[in-house]
């Protein structure tokens, strides 16, 4: 190549490093973008041929899934649901009936009418063990005492009822309920509730004593 020939465009060195020659850049060559596009296109169109071992694994997995799906029927789903419901109920029953706990509730019903006012009390031992030396006072006017109350037992009676004579409708009254009892660990602190009644002709209250587990 003569030294005085004009050089136009872009060239790259090719050939022998000791005696290089110039070649026009991009001649008979693809751009980088075009090469990437073709590579992507070729990769997307190439098909994957699995091996025989992979085919066998896929066939076994499909057959196993088909057998499992064939065994799931509406009747079996219903039976499974019933079994789970029974299991949950059994766990609840175990905690309610067997787990050692104290759960005493005093239910108070207040009713007012023409001849006077009535206060009725019922003691519920919802716990799983008996309680002893049970005493209930209503307004320091009615006293109830019982040596023991078995587990899951409710008690009521004349000593747990209080009648206040006299017509005084819609006047507010204060009822004080006192509960004493012993559990397996001995005497518990006295529990006192104060209720304000009289706004309604009929009221019902459930007073929960302190719960004790184990």
Given this model, what pLDDT does residue 36 score?
61
Q: Are residues 34 and 133 in the same domain?
A: no
**Nearest-angstrom CA–CA distance, 169 and 201:** 8
DSSP secondary structure, 44-74, as one string: HHPPP---HHHHHHHHHHHHHHHHHHHH--H
pLDDT tops 60 at residue 7: no
With tokens 């499974």, the residue in question is 80
Report the C-alpha gap between 7 and 106 in whole angstroms: 110
Whether 170 and 135 map to the same domain: the answer is yes
Specify which residues 8 forms β-bridges with. Answer: none
Burial level of 136, CB count in 10 A (0-12/13-18/19+)?
buried
Q: How does DSSP assign 86-119, residue by residue?
A: HHHHHHHHIIIIIS-EE-EEEEEEEEE-SSEEEE
For residues 158 and 149, the answer to whether their CB atoms sit within 8 Å is: no
Residue-level pLDDT at 179: 96
Q: Are 192 and 182 in contact (CB under 8 A)?
A: no
Is position 204 within any domain? yes
Which two tokens mark 89? 């109920």
**Same domain for 90 and 179:** no
pLDDT band of 61, cuts 50, 70, 90? confident
Residue 70 clears pLDDT 60, i.e. is over it: yes
Residues comprising the chain, all counted: 214
pLDDT at 190: 93
Q: Is residue 31 part of a domain?
A: yes
Residue 48 binned pLDDT confidence (cut-offs 50, 70, 90): low
Domain CATH code at residue 183: 2.60.40.1230
pLDDT of res. 159: 87
User: Do residues 108 and 195 share a domain?
Assistant: yes
The 10s digit of each residue's pLDDT in 116-138 is 889 999 999 999 899 999 999 99
Position 41 pLDDT exceeds 80: no
Residues 75 and 17 in one domain: no
Q: How many helices (H) and strands (E) does the chain have?
A: 3, 14
Q: Are residues 90 and 165 in the same domain?
A: no
pLDDT in tens, 149-184: 999 899 998 889 888 887 666 678 889 999 999 998
201 occurs within a structural domain: yes
55 domain residue, yes or no:
no
Residue 114 forms part of a structural domain = yes
How many domains are contained in the chain?
Answer: 3
Residue 106: which of 61, 154, 152 has the closest Cα? 154
Same domain, 165 and 188: yes
Q: Which domain holds residue 20?
A: 11-46
What is the DSSP secondary structure assignment for residue 150, as one 8-state letter?
-
């Amino acid at each position: 190549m003569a030294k005085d020939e004009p050089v136009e465009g872009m060239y790259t060195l090719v050939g022998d490093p000791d005696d290089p020659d110039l070649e026009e850049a991009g001649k008979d060559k693809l751009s980088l973008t075009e090469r990437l596009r073709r590579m992507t296109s070729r990769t997307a169109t190439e098909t994957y041929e699995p091996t025989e071992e992979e085919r066998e694994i896929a066939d076994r997995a499909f057959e196993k899934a088909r057998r499992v799906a064939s065994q799931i029927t509406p009747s079996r789903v219903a039976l499974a649901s019933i079994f789970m419901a029974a299991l949950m109920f059994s766990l609840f029953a175990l905690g309610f009936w067997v787990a050692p706990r104290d759960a005493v509730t005093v239910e108070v019903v207040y009713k007012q009418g023409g001849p006077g006012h009535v206060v009725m009390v019922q003691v519920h031992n919802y716990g799983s063990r008996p309680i002893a030396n049970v005493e209930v006072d209503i307004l320091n006017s009615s006293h109830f005492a019982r040596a023991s109350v078995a587990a899951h037992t409710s008690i009521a009676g004349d000593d747990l009822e209080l009648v206040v004579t006299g017509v005084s409708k819609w006047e507010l009254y204060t009822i004080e309920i006192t509960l004493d009892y012993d559990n397996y660990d001995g005497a518990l602190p006295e529990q006192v509730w104060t209720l304000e009644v009289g706004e309604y002709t009929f009221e019902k209250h459930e007073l929960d004593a302190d719960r004790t587990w184990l």
